[in-house]
Every structure is written in structure tokens, then in C-alpha cells.
Homo-oligomer: A and B are copies of this chain.
Amino acid sequence: MHKNVIVGQSGGPTAVINSSLVGVFKTAKDRGADKVYGMLYGIQGLLEEKYVDLSQHIKTDLDIDLLKRTPSSFLGSCRYKLPEIKDGKEVYEKIFSLLEKLDIEAFFYIGGNDSMDTIKKLSDYAIINGSDIKFMGVPKTIDNDLACTDHTPGFGSAAKYIAATCKEVIRDSLVYGTSSVTVLEIMGRNAGWLTAAAALSKGEDCQGVDMLLLPELPLDPKSFTEKVRLLLQERKSIVIAVSEGTKLADGRYVFELDSHSDAVDAFGHMRLNGTARYLANMLADELGVKTRAIELSTLQRCASHMTSRVDITEAFQVGGAAVKAAFEGETGKVIVLQRVSEDPYICITDSQDVHKIANVEKKVPKEWITNDGTYVSDELIHYIRPLIQAELSPVMVDGLPRHLRLEEF
């Protein structure tokens, strides 16, 4: 049997998105694929006929191991949304004629809920137009906001980086023995999963963060300030983890109180930041306490020097499972993770209809948010804990982690 396949990466990168790429590449090769093409810059690049033959770039076992340790999207990415099928005939014809030219039997797209919209539309189009090309979604997002899956590859490593960094910042915050409030800003537009991961900093050797502000519950600045004031009577150093997407009761983002920016990205998402800075300044003004704001920023999604081995392995597995499913005839599906055992932690892969997943956001359940919206439940901590376990040591060359890159980048 002779098959060509093509794979792309889309949306915001993660520290393990290339493990999924390796999973697709290696499994496709092992299962008899002839060529494995990689589209550059996702579907947007494919429309400009930008693609590579991955065998020309992933040549050795060392390349594979380096790629698993390389942050960001090896093939580049895009935030391009396909038009509705009825509105974009030309776009779809162009894509399908290119896929036919390349003799593609299966198309894999590694991305989040926005990117799964691409798989939904392409698989719908294929069915409508009688194409037998298979379209499979491979989930990734640090945000963990995909529906129908226990969790999302990329989340565990970001959670591990966040928890480890919180531990370090908490140690740092205590040195002077003076009253201070540190506000850590963590990614998460509408879902507070990543911010919740800061709670894992608590353990035998660390008091953990004192408060967590998630976007799932509105923030009342007055009662928040009062809570911090009371906390400062108990202990000197307070560390608060806040989601960049924390909102007020009237629906405005906290950062909007401060910022002039209203830029939106291609998906209509507002570009967020400044939440920690705003809150730190507010607390300094209201309480006369020394404050500092720290944005974990991009490092959360690209810290490949501190990944979870569980996450790396699962990222590989969802890529492999997508190939297996497509080669067995499935299409219009997304590979999901299903937790079949808590202790020991065991997750298996399954597939779900992409229509259930595309454009749907999974938020932190309200019952997992406690203390009037400023902490999370043990259930939530137990849910995340297995996802940050074990490590994949970087390959260190001349003192720094080595990566694999395409000449294009």
C-alpha cells in the first residue's frame, strides 16, 4: 500500500506540539506511508503551496529526539480561519486540488479548538464532494480548554512550568521579611486551567500561592482588596496567581481598566495583558504595600527545558492515534484522551466527532473553585497532578538545550 499524508500545526504553539508532529511522522512511516509532507504555516501556508517533505528534515533518531525537545511549531503556524464552505468555494477547490496533486490520503492538523474548525470544514467538504481524503484533528493547547477530552497535550508541561516557577518566585518573595504582594499573571483567556496549576506549588517544601483568580468567576476589586488586606495581617509575603482573562462583574477585563489596547486577533480574540500590573498597582495604592507584577508571558508555552514526560508521551500518542485512525478509515474526528484509571493514572486515546469539539471551550467547573472564587478544590489539584509527572531532560550542547529547526525558520 502506498500512501502520502500531510500534517500541519496551527494556533499558539506549546512546548510539546512537536512531539505530536513526531507521533504523526513516525507512525505514518511505520504504517507504510510513502511521503509525509509538512505544511508550512498551517493551512494558510498550504494555500500558498508552502510545504516540505518531512523525511528530508527528520533524518535520524537523534533528530526525532531533538524535535521532541524543540519548543514552538517546527512547521510554523497560523491563525487563519477557513471561510464557511458556502462562501469559499475557491479556497476549498484550491486546497483539494493541491491535496490531490500530492496524492494525499490523510490530512492531520495539530491545534486547539479554533484549529479544529479547519478539520471540521475540510472533512465536511470532503463528504459533500465525495473526496475520500481523511481529515483528523490532533489536539494541542496549553489552555486545556478543548471539550470531550480529559485534558489536552501541552497543558501538562505548561502546568509543570507554572507550578515550578511559582515555587521559585515564592521562595524569592520571602527574602526580605517585609510585607509584599506579588501578582503573577498566567495565560488563559476564558479558562482558568493554567492559573489553577499554580496551586500545585503548595507542598511539603512550599506554602504555595495564596490566592488564585480565574476568569470563570468575576472579580470584585473591593472585596479582593479587603481579602488581601486581611491576609497581610497573617503573613508578610502574599503571592497571587491571576489569569490574564480575569473579568469584572460587568464583563470588562481587568486589564481594560488600565490599557489603551483593543487590538483583536484574526479570531476576534482580544489581546490581553496588564492584568497583574493593574492589580499590583491597585493594591499598592489601596493598601500602601510593596507590590510587584510578574507576567509569565510566552515562556509558559515555549519552556521546553521544563516539560512533563507524561505530556510529551501523550502528545506523541495522540499524533500516532490520529494516523492509525485515519489509516483505518476514520475522518472528521479528533483524537481525545480518556482517563481510565486514577491510581495508577492511565489515559488511553479515543476519537470524537470534530463537530463536538471545534469552537467549543471547556472551562473550569464552578464547583472546583472555592473560597469565594480565590482558590481551587483538591479535586482540581488531583486532576492536574498526574499530568506534570516525570521529565524529559533537554539535550544540552555547550551549556544550552539543543533544538531542531527547519532552514526556513
Chain A interface (Cβ within 8 Å of chain B)?
13, 40-41, 45, 70-73, 76-79, 160, 163-165, 167-169, 171-172, 174-177, 200-201, 203, 205-206, 292, 294-295, 297-299, 301-306, 308, 385, 388-391, 393, 396-405, 409
Contacts and interface: CB of A to CB of B under 8 A. Distances in A.
B305 A294 contact: no
A396 B400 contact: no
Contacts of A77: 175-176
Given A176-B41, A403-B206, A168 B297 contact: no
A128 to B, nearest CB: 30
Contacts of A302: 168-169, 171-172
Contacts of A301: 172
Contacts of A167: 400-401, 403
Nearest to A290: B263
5 contacts: A77-B175, A165-B303, A169-B299, A205-B403, A292-B298
Contact of A306 (B205, B305, B391, B402): B305
A168 B76 contact: no
Number of copies: 2
A171 B406 CA distance: 11
Given A177-B76, A294-B298, A400 B164 contact: yes
Residue among A177, A201, A388 with the highest chain B CB neighbour number at 10 A: A177
A299 B399 contact: no
A389 B398 CA distance: 6
A217 to B, nearest CB: 26
Contacts of A400: 160, 163-164, 167, 200-201, 203, 388
Nearest to A310: B399
Given A78-B176, A171-B70, A399-B160, A165 B299 contact: yes
B72 A174 contact: yes
A263 to B, nearest CB: 9
A401 B165 CA distance: 10
A321 to B, nearest CB: 24
A67 B385 CA distance: 24
* 9 closest Cβ pairs, A-B complex: A72-B171, A388-B399, A77-B175, A172-B302, A168-B302, A72-B172, A174-B409, A389-B399, A294-B297
